[in-house]
C-alpha cells in the first residue's frame, strides 16, 4: 500500500517537473525569438551602412 502511494507521489512530481520545464521552454522561445529578430534587423542595418 505504501509502495503504491510512493509511486503515485513520484508520478505527480515528475508531471509537475515536466510541466515546469515545458512552460520554461515556451517562455525561453518567446523571449529569444524577438531578440533574434532585433539582432537580424541590426545586422541588416549595419550591412546597409557599410
Cα separation, 37 vs 32, in Å, equals 9
Average pLDDT, the chain: 86
pLDDT at 48 over 90: no
Distance between CA atoms of 50 and 31, rounded to whole angstroms? 29
3-state SS class at 2: helix
What pLDDT, on the 0 to 100 scale, is given for residue 18?
95
- Residue 50: pLDDT band with limits 50, 70, 90: low
Structure confidence at residue 27 (pLDDT): 87
Kind plus residue range of the DSSP H or E element containing 21: helix 2-49
pLDDT at position 22 is: 93
In sign, the C-alpha dihedral spanning 39, 42, 47, 50 is negative
Amino acid at each position: 500500500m505504501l509502495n503504491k502511494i510512493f509511486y503515485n507521489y513520484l508520478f505527480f512530481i515528475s508531471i509537475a517537473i515536466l510541466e515546469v520545464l515545458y512552460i520554461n521552454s515556451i517562455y525561453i522561445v518567446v523571449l529569444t525569438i524577438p531578440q533574434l529578430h532585433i539582432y537580424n534587423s541590426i545586422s541588416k542595418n549595419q550591412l546597409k551602412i557599410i
